[in-house]
Amino acid sequence: MEQVSPVISPVKPENGGTVPAAPQERTLRYKPGDLIIKEGDFGTALYRIRSGTVGVFKELHGEELPLYELGPGDVFGEKVFIDGGSQPRPASAVAKDAVELEAWHYLALRREHQALRPIFRLIALDMVKKLAKISAMHDRVRLNKNHAQNRPAEPDTAEVNLTVHEPSCTLKLAGSEPVGRVWEGLVEYRLTDNPASGMLHATGVDIDKDGMRFDVKLANINNGGHEPGSSIQLAIHLPGGVPVKVHGKITSISRGSLIGHTALRVHFRDISAEAKQRLTAFLAT
């Protein structure tokens, strides 16, 4: 049973565009030339094209470098599904003609994802990860090509090795070695060295056996001793039963996936055998 239902803010266009009056309607419309995603911005939505053509491009030395065009049925912005919008958009997207999009907040998408059977959860996550790898490689080939055009031609070689060496992507699959999972749920925490801060609430977004990441609605995180290295006490509301209590240390602080939010990465320390067992069981389901 879903115990926690984080508030999902309605998806707003990242760069203009008109949102229809009905807030439940996740349709966004753009005119030719409208910028849908700006490279480097932070967004929280994945888009699916209902109609029209979307051009994807990167900027290089002030020039637009077209990557590819997408049409009805295609999705883009899918990286939010894995990074929760914590990473800048890798490329820009522009409406080439009148475009109608369906926008999905990544939390809503993850909820849908959680409802899938494990095999489809696995395949969907695998496709998103593969796509991130292929897109990154595609961009590199494109950037190298562009770079090469500005250099004198190299002598012909008998064999052109185009192999792009990539660190192989290890899909973390719950099994013999439960490693991690995309998760969302309530986390309560207290900064050990600052008891005055009291119990704070946050939304857990990813969890693994070593630590977790969560989003807290605090624009000014510098208040109250949120610093890398700070000790933290957590009560993680995993589904079923009492919260799992662990101690940890904040390892990094970054801009949250929602406006006015901050993302904290915590490394677990001093996990009791019982907490470890529950965490392992949760990661393996």
Partner 1 sequence: MELPESITAYIRNRLSFKQGQAVFEEGSQARHVFIIMQGRVRIRKQTPNGLLTLGVLDPGHVLGETSLFDKAAQQRSATAIAETDVVLGVLDREKLEKELSLISPVQQEILAGLARRIRLNTASAALLAGS
* Footprint of partner 1 (CB under 8 A): 46, 48, 67-68, 70, 73-76, 78, 104, 109, 112, 116-120, 122-124, 126-128, 130-131, 133-135, 137-138, 141-142, 145, 159-166, 168-171, 173-176, 284
Q: CB nearer to partner 1: give 70 or 263.
A: 70
Which lies closer to partner 1 via its Cβ, residue 41 or residue 166?
Answer: 166
Residue type, 252: S
Write down the least CB distance from residue 135 to partner 1, Å: 6
Closer residue to partner 1 in complex, CB, 120/267: 120
| CA geometry: angle 224, 214, 176, nearest 5 deg | 135
- Whole-number minimum distance, CB 137 to partner 1, in Å? 6
What are 114's two structure tokens? 């959680």
- How is residue 227 written in tokens? 């610093």
Q: How far is the CB of 81 from partner 1 (least distance, A)?
A: 9
* 197 secondary structure, DSSP code: G
Nearest residue (CB) to partner 1, 31 versus 145: 145
Q: In the complex, what is the shortest distance from the CB of residue 63 to partner 1, in angstroms, rounded to a whole number?
A: 17
In the block, tokens 């099994």 appear at 175
Report the nearest approach of partner 1 to the CB of residue 29 (Å): 19
Nearer to partner 1, 136 or 235 (CB): 136
Residue 184's CB: how many other CB atoms inside 10 A? Answer: 22
| CA–CA distance, 246 with 193 (Å, rounded to integer) | 15
Question: Hey, what long-range contacts does 173-180 have (CB within 8 A, 24 or more apart)?
Answer: 173/122, 174/283, 174/284, 174/285, 175/284, 178/209, 178/280, 178/283, 178/284, 179/208, 179/209, 179/283, 180/206, 180/207, 180/208, 180/209, 180/283
User: In the bound complex, what is the minimum distance in angstroms from residue 51's beta carbon to partner 1?
Assistant: 13
Sheet of 54-60, strand order:
35-37, 92-95, 54-60, 63-70
Nearer to partner 1, 119 or 242 (CB): 119
